[in-house]
Structure 1
Amino acid sequence: MYIDSHCHINFPELSVRMPEILARMDENEVSHALCVSCDLPTFPDVLKLAEQHPNVYASVGVHPDYEDTPEPSVDELIRLAQHPRIVAIGETGLDYYRLQGDLEWQRERFRTHIRASRATGKPLIIHTRAASEDTIRIMREEGAGIADGGVAGVMHCFTESLEVAKAAMELGFYISFSGIVTFKSAKDLQAVAREVPLEKMLIETDSPYLAPVPFRGKMNEPALVRYVAEFIATLKDVSVDEVAKQTTDNFFNLFKIAR
């Protein structure tokens, strides 16, 4: 059994195919998926999927790439997160790769999400790209992570160094690998995946993006998360069953979901 810990099946190219998406998950032994919010205007669509399908969960948050979108407040995130199908805050974080200039608004948005996570007790889903130093710094300053009495979370679609992974794990965060880890060009990331303990690992698709090999360049979907698990099993020289079981256990433990 596999779990896709991060996908965007509310996006139109996937949501119109939901019966097929769910059937293919079942065929590939993908039991659950977490549909992750990117902004507040589309959050109702994310929540609706989680309400309609018992094996789909949802988060609430605003992606750091979304500049021209309603800004969340701590109180609003707390209110929306009370719904029983909402298991996480995010995705949130910092992205200095796509956006340039004064990005203080990104850092303030990140702090808002961390404060909502601490208030609700729901874990954070963190996106970081070309911003790892500030990401870890703000996590520490705001008390993200179990070491400071906060809540753990996950560094999703991880592409950073082993040092960044270790810093996050020290705060109680899991490291999630997407289809990127299967790419031939991802040798550095593969080296990181070998070092991250299975006990601190999740797997994801980030669909509809980043389909794993041998589907690279095609539309991604939750069913393909098994290929991430199979690749990691080869990297770490363990059975795919071990990867599947441990990452599934990690998912339920992190997001406090009863089996």
Structure 2
Amino acid sequence: MLKVEQACVNFGKREVLKGVDLPEPGPGTIVGLIGPNAAGKSTLVKTIAGIQKLTSGTCDTGDATVGYVPQDLLTSASLTAFESVVISAKRGSANALESAVEALEKLGIVHLAHRYVHQLSGGQRQLVAVAQMLAREPDLMLLDEPTSALDLRHQVHLLDTLRKEVSRGAVALVAIHDLNLAARYCDELVVLHGGRVHAHGTPAEVLNTELLGEVYGIRARVIDDEGVPMVCPVEANFSKLEPHEPTHSR
């Protein structure tokens, strides 16, 4: 479903992605894409979605239907939330109206159906964007920081919904900053740092004090919460934060 090999993306003379290889995810998997700001997460998601062109390398989604959720749903059209989801559903569903209603219900935003998208808050627009994607029932779901503008309750509900969606055999690749949410909901984590894959594996394999120091420049304790690692930051140290070559892989 997803093959990414030696993916490179340059913006002018600046290298953003530097030979990225992704482990091929299995059906029913949520893959968390984590890393500090400017690590290349959004660029990688956009590249897989076909929005950003590769400079070199391979990015192949095969015959999979792909759904993409940007960080923010920007629209100048006078569309209600329901109308915007119906339009998206028509691209992948025989019954667009039914699919649109179902997507809004899954995310608990039916009450926003008749509100104009441009009048919604940032978090509400994020949820509408996710509903647009869910209405198409894609095989590969690409989400670029879909929880960034949501409160904790809506973050948890959104990720619970994604977990149910992948159970039909789909795959979700989610760029996410919250490491504890990533550890709780993702089957696999890919750590980007300086445009390269620094580590990949299960949350328990990836999240450790050494990696957090190397990639994020923090001292932290990692506590085992019934098999799920929980990151407890202690101190940030920017003086020790330097670019690193990939040192960890599974």
Same fold (TM over 0.5): no
> If the TM-score is normalised by the length of the shorter chain, which range does it land in?
0.3 to 0.5
Give the structure with the larger helix fraction. Answer: 1
Max radius of gyration: which structure?
2
TM-score, normalised to structure 2, is: 0.43
Give the structure with the larger strand fraction. Answer: 2
Higher relative contact order (CA 8 A, sep 6+): 2
